């Protein structure tokens, strides 16, 4: 019985945490539904939803961390993870940059990357922005005006 519970918990964790890494070229390595590793450009993110730690603490699960979900234009889940638990704020920095500047950061532009790195260093700004703007859609490269869900 204990083995069954441990195996089930690991499968749920594997299913829920699809994000594996963000790469220097602004791509996200993640797992597909069937577990295959895929790499997707940050610019393909069309929609996100963020719940802060405070909102999560009000849920039925005590001590649950914040959560960030990302979807592409087709509604496929690109990633779902806790920025605070993983101490991963670069995706949030790219999302904030996109929403504030109306375009994705250009990884070849030193000024854009300086803005991304500065945001990562001051990550509370990212979590505050995402908490104040908990969901947006219309972010993909071929769209110009993101909208609040």
Work out the pLDDT band at 104, boundaries 50, 70, 90: very high
The per-residue pLDDT for 145 is 57
The per-residue pLDDT for 39 is 86
Report the C-alpha gap between 64 and 87 in whole angstroms. 15
Structure tokens at 104: 């994705």
Return the percent helix, strand and coil in the chain, to nearest 5: 40, 25, 35
Q: Which range, 35-44, 45-54, 63-72, has the best average confidence (pLDDT)?
A: 45-54
Contact of 144 with 117, CB cutoff 8 Å: no
The HSE-up count of residue 47 (CA atoms within 13 Å, CB side) is 13
Report the C-alpha gap between 69 and 79 in whole angstroms. 6
Please provide the average confidence, as pLDDT, over all residues in the chain. Answer: 80
Report the C-alpha gap between 85 and 96 in whole angstroms. 19
Task: Quote the pTM value.
Answer: 0.77
């Amino acid at each position: 019985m204990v083995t069954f519970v441990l195996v089930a918990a690991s499968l749920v964790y594997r299913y829920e945490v699809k994000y594996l890494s963000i790469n220097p070229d602004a791509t996200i390595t993640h797992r597909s539904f069937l577990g295959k590793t895929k790499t997707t450009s940050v610019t393909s993110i069309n929609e996100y939803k963020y719940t802060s730690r405070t909102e999560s603490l009000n849920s039925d699960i005590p001590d649950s961390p914040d959560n960030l979900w990302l979807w592409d234009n087709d509604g496929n889940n690109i990633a779902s993870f806790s920025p605070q638990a993983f101490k991963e704020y670069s995706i949030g920095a790219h999302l904030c940059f996109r929403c504030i500047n109306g375009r994705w950061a250009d990884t070849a532009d030193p000024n854009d990357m300086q803005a991304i790195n500065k945001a990562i260093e001051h990550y509370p700004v990212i979590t505050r922005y995402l908490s104040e703007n908990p969901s947006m859609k219309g972010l993909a490269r071929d769209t110009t005006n993101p909208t609040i869900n």
